[in-house]
Amino acid sequence: MQVDDSIQWELAMKDEMVLLMFNKTWDLTELPKGKKALRNKWVYKLKKEHDGASATRQD
């Protein structure tokens, strides 16, 4: 991944987090005692055109 790409991915991730909070998709709460949080990860990929050229960023 190029530095320019990583900056754009980070901005896209921050925008997504802002929208999730704005839309009240979820609330941050205290984890109940004895419970473990679910793990997650962001997956980034470049969408390809039918000829194999990069078309757009998509997360």
- Distance between CA 44 and CA 4 in Å, rounded? 14
Confidence tier at 55 by pLDDT (50, 70, 90): low
Q: What is the distance between the alpha carbons of residues 34 and 1, in angstroms, rounded to a whole number?
A: 39
Which amino acid, 59?
Answer: D
pTM of the model: 0.55
Q: Work out whether the CA dihedral 53, 48, 2, 8 comes out positive or negative.
A: positive
Q: What is the pLDDT of residues 2-48, one digit of tens each?
A: 667 788 888 988 999 899 889 999 888 899 999 999 898 888 777 77
pLDDT of residue 52: 67
